[in-house]
Structure 1
Amino acid sequence: MAESVDQMLVQMQKAKEFGGDLVELRVDFLKNFVPRQDLDILIKQAPLPTLVTFRPRWEGGQYDGNENERREALRLAMELGADYIDIELKVAHDFFGSLPRERPEHVKIIVSSHNYERTPSVEELSDLVARIQATGADIVKIATTAVDIIDNARIFQVLVHSQVPMIGLVMSEKGLMSRILAAKFGGFLTFGSLEAGVVSAPGQPTVKELLDLYNMRLVGPDTKVHGVIGNPIHHSKSPLLYNASFKSTGFNGIYLPLLVDDVSTFITTYSSPDFSGFSYTIPHKEAGLKCCDEVDPIAKAIGAINCMIRRSTDGKLIGYNIDYLGAIAAIEEGLRASNGATLAPGSPLAGKIFVVIGTSGAGKALAYGAYEKGARVVVANHTYDEAKEVASKVQGQALTLAELNDFYPDEGMILANMTSVGMEPRIEETPVSKETLKHYSLVFDAVHTPKLTRLLREAKQSGAAIVYGTEMLLGLEFKVLRFRI
């Protein structure tokens, strides 16, 4: 999407180095575009096959000039050796009618339709495919917008039944899965940007993410789909861990960040056996439990799940909660290290006051885990009744967050923040005052973006040992991977 030919040549070389198969030239971004001169250079010097797109403003592009000149530039691109060109459905009939009878055989014409507001029904999409085919298109392209993550399923359904080569993508963050799973459902191609945030359409991942994070080359019709369900979800590090682990073990699976509004609707929509397992994070751990066919006793006692697996024998969804294992292990290790007794028997949590901030599914799980280790659990929350409900299950004490700053019945307490306070973008927020932190020997923060939160920074300044949220994540995901494999 560069503004000059020279910049485009540099970007094309990067596209090849990064692992692209072909490069789309968005010539509508060029300043002072001279079609014959510029296209001749770009097409002949391209290190990859080329797709030439000259997108007008009325279809979401940059070009706002004469329509006949735009179409003439696309015809010229065909003559000069472009491998693909993209023309919009709205003008496709006229464009095909203007082509010479003997057009270049090597070039494929993509006829595209973009919906920047929503994703239509399957029936409407099927009708749209038929209309595009009727123009004489070699390749059908439909790009819609996800209002909800379930909108992807309609594109998948149309893609998998398409009788012609088809590009089917859903824009926006909620449409990310369509761009990655295009390889599973038979999509002709998917688009990746060269740089994060510099995109030609909303929700576009980078080439490096597609190839190195999501292992796109390994995705096929039989690939099992997994992911982490949450809202927000862009900060999650789980895809990094799982996709690398799947690749290293030769497991034919992919793991995605899933921005979900309603868990029940998501689970009902993606009920295929190929959608075989999910992790759960804020705020959907309790809602996930309600969608299970069976629930592990520990998850039932906690009242939330962090892991759901579709049993291969009967398709039933089984819920588990091992949230506390990673966190408790990291906190115990931190305590032992700070006391210089890494091999001491028993849990260093036994008998200590363990303050849990938050009553989310993760908060409930950690309260349960601390109680199991013999700690005296205190649950603090904005809403006292919610704190009291969780505390009652672990024979603990309930506080409001306002009371927490004046709560120090003992020295050397342990504090665990299980809320999103301090997470990007609100990185200057903290759940307790710095003055209070001097009464704690160890502070743990489940937030892992950023790694060093304000809470942890001030705890360290106050003399407490600190445990990062990433340590919980690594410990937890390792246990889940062993459990699943």
Structure 2
Amino acid sequence: MGAATLTAAESSPPVTSEEGFTDGTLICTSVTAETVDAAISEINEAADLGATIVELRIDFLKDIDLSHPAPTLTSLLKACEAANVPALVTFRPAWEGGQYTGTEPERLAALKCAAAVGAQFIDVEHLAAKAFFASEGQVPPNTKVILSHHDYKETPSDTLLEAEVQEMFDAGADIAKIATTALRIEDSARMLALPGKSSGPVIALAMGEKGLPSRLLAPKFGGFLTFGALSPSKASAPGQPTVSELCQLYRLQCQSAATQVYGIVGNPVSHSRSPALHNAALAAAGLDAVYVPLLVDELSPFLHAFPSFSGFSVTVPHKLAALECAEEADPVAARIGAANTLVRQPGGGLRAFNTDWSAAISAVEAALGGGSALKGKRVIVVGAGGAGRALAFGAVERGAKVLVCNRTKEKADALAEALGSMAEAVEYADVAAGKVAGDVLMNSTSIGMHPAEEETPVSAEALSGYAVVFDAVYTPLQTRLLKEAGEKGCVTVSGLEMFVGQAAEQFGLFTGKTAPLGLMRQATLDSMHAA
């Protein structure tokens, strides 16, 4: 099965109580403390946050006596029992990305000891499997052995992945685990598909930001286990979300094969607050759905890799491509020439919409006094990308004279020509310096967005005379452009208004339900304050 045919697992994850497994996908937190006391504290913290299993990373412990590890291991397992979470004991060697640099016999003996004193799971590297099973001591039947492999360079071909999983089961694994590095988001699709191709339980995770979907959607696609860190600073693998995010934001405990998936497609995308406001709205509506961040290099291959996803918010730089990739388009999106929303249709195709323009234009009109306040006004639009096209189109629709500028003048010329007689292209440098001005300034670019908050598309001196200045950037809420515009006496409109407004319209397109606008706004603000 290739990435283009990724679908949800036909049933629940392949784990049953008869085989000694816990039903459902486990949420695991790695305990990486250096002392036993600190490890016990992390065990309790993980349980309080919602972890349903903890990984005891013995290779991080500095106060364990490896010549007699049973007392330390027993203490840790008792702490897990008291916290009501099963334990997975891992003793990762340096040659597989861990901390341990000692001898293999000593390491394998400690893992056998962990099984003997009651660990429910132990993790053994696939490369060490033969030596482990041949070493002294038996693994009790109530301890399940995970054979694991980590690829820190890439995600191998489907053929190699499937072969390695089968080799793990042939070597004696109760559970197979493969963690790879996602070079493209399509690698996540291939890893999500892996559990559905196996006869036994599989942990399949892709590391890095492009691998995030493999972690956030593991329950939907039948993964045995996924990882969440205690905090961003304690992540045990690149791109690992926190256990709080898994439980609260993405509601992994509620996911099933039937869960609908939506997401924000962009590059970059980690700054986006879309997951916060959309997941809050989906939860409030009681819908079996989740919304995830999707770091995408090329839109078309991504869309082919995830054909079962129900809809997408689209941001920089994919808004023009979104229209091209859709099988059909809303007339407004077609006129604008850019889409920020893709919705899966009953036949499987995608329909494109644009909700950017109405949200932004409504906010600017309100700042001008309401009604048809833009009619006859001179509006400067900075940027001729997808968002710029939406803003310029909306202003023309409301009867404004639009002047478009872009750092690449050819793009501004093309947009002005597409808009007709009510639009004109001007030099970006002239707008930035104040030689060309108007009644309303609308910045559609990402200039001034976190982490480059010190940047601004237009000099402070050039802002005098504008009645309203709008900035599509909403992280931070108060950009340098808006701060300096306020100091010049302009009414300012934050990108938050456009962001929440366009998302509310998207929610309606995704679900057919009325968006909880106040909840979405508050969820966005809460997310920004927590960052």
What range describes the TM-score normalised by the shorter chain of this pair?
over 0.9
Aligned to 1:301: 335
1:317 to 340, 346, 350: 350
Aligned to 1:377: 402
1:198: Cα distance to partner? 2.1
Read off the aligned partner of 1:299 and give its amino acid letter. Answer: A
- Tell me, yes or no, if structure 1 residue 126 matches structure 2 residue 152: no
- Tell me, yes or no, if structure 1 residue 389 matches structure 2 residue 414: yes
1:99: Cα distance to partner? 4.7
Give the Cα separation in 2 of the matches to 1:38 and 1:176: 34
Aligned to 1:227: 263
- Tell me, yes or no, if structure 1 residue 82 matches structure 2 residue 119: yes
Deviations 1:36-60 (A, max 9, x none): 3322221112222111111111101
Give the Cα separation in 1 of the matches to 2:255 and 2:282: 11
- Tell me, yes or no, if structure 1 residue 257 matches structure 2 residue 290: no
1:276 to 280, 287, 310: 310
- Tell me, yes or no, if structure 1 residue 359 matches structure 2 residue 390: no
Aligned to 2:22: none
**2:190 aligned counterpart, secondary structure:** helix
1:410: Cα distance to partner? 6.3
Read off the aligned partner of 1:351 and give its amino acid letter. Answer: G
With CA pairs under 8 Å and 6+ residues apart, which has the higher RCO, 1 or 2? 2
Give the Cα separation in 1 of the matches to 2:215 and 2:487: 45
Aligned to 2:205: 169
Read off the aligned partner of 2:102 and give its amino acid letter. Answer: G
Aligned to 1:18: 49
Q: Determine if contact 2:177/2:202 at 8 Å carries over to the other structure.
A: yes
**2:109 aligned counterpart, secondary structure:** helix
Read off the aligned partner of 1:94 and give its amino acid letter. Answer: A
Give the Cα separation in 2 of the matches to 1:447 and 1:99: 62
Gaps of 5+ in 1: 337-343
More displaced stretch, 6-15 vs 326-335: 326-335
Aligned to 2:71: 37
Give the Cα separation in 1 of the matches to 2:326 and 2:293: 20
**2:155 aligned counterpart, secondary structure:** coil
1:104: Cα distance to partner? 2.2
Aligned in 2, Cα 1:197/1:334: closer, same or farther, shift over 3 Å?
Answer: farther
More displaced stretch, 181-190 vs 239-248: 239-248
Q: Determine if contact 1:383/1:400 at 8 Å carries over to the other structure.
A: no
Give the Cα separation in 1 of the matches to 2:284 and 2:475: 26
- TM-score of the superposition, structure 2-length normalised? 0.86
1:433 to 444, 449, 459: 459
1:476 to 479, 497, 502: 502
- TM-score of the superposition, structure 1-length normalised? 0.94
Deviations 1:410-466 (A, max 9, x none): 66x211111111112211111111111122122111112222111111112222111
More displaced stretch, 475-484 vs 160-169: 475-484
> Segments of 4+ in structure 1 off by > 4 A?
408-411
Give the Cα separation in 1 of the matches to 2:167 and 2:432: 65
Aligned to 2:241: 205
**1:440 aligned counterpart, secondary structure:** coil
Read off the aligned partner of 1:106 and give its amino acid letter. Answer: N
Read off the aligned partner of 2:260 and give its amino acid letter. Answer: K
- Tell me, yes or no, if structure 1 residue 328 matches structure 2 residue 361: yes
1:283: Cα distance to partner? 0.3
Aligned to 1:340: none
- Tell me, yes or no, if structure 1 residue 65 matches structure 2 residue 102: yes
Computed over aligned residues only, the root mean square deviation of the Cα atoms, in angstroms, reads 1.5
1:133: Cα distance to partner? 0.5
More displaced stretch, 184-193 vs 30-39: 30-39
Give the Cα separation in 2 of the matches to 1:397 and 1:281: 25
Identity of aligned residues (%): 47
Give the Cα separation in 2 of the matches to 1:476 and 1:155: 32
Deviations 1:208-234 (A, max 9, x none): 111111111111111111111110000
Q: Determine if contact 1:140/1:166 at 8 Å carries over to the other structure.
A: yes
Aligned to 2:254: 218
More displaced stretch, 149-158 vs 172-181: 149-158
- Tell me, yes or no, if structure 1 residue 105 matches structure 2 residue 141: yes
Give the Cα separation in 2 of the matches to 1:409 and 1:146: 46
Deviations 1:319-345 (A, max 9, x none): 111211111122222232xxxxxxx5x
Q: Determine if contact 2:264/2:313 at 8 Å carries over to the other structure.
A: yes
Aligned to 1:420: 446
Q: Determine if contact 1:420/1:447 at 8 Å carries over to the other structure.
A: yes
1:406: Cα distance to partner? 4.0
Read off the aligned partner of 1:277 and give its amino acid letter. Answer: G
**1:393 aligned counterpart, secondary structure:** helix
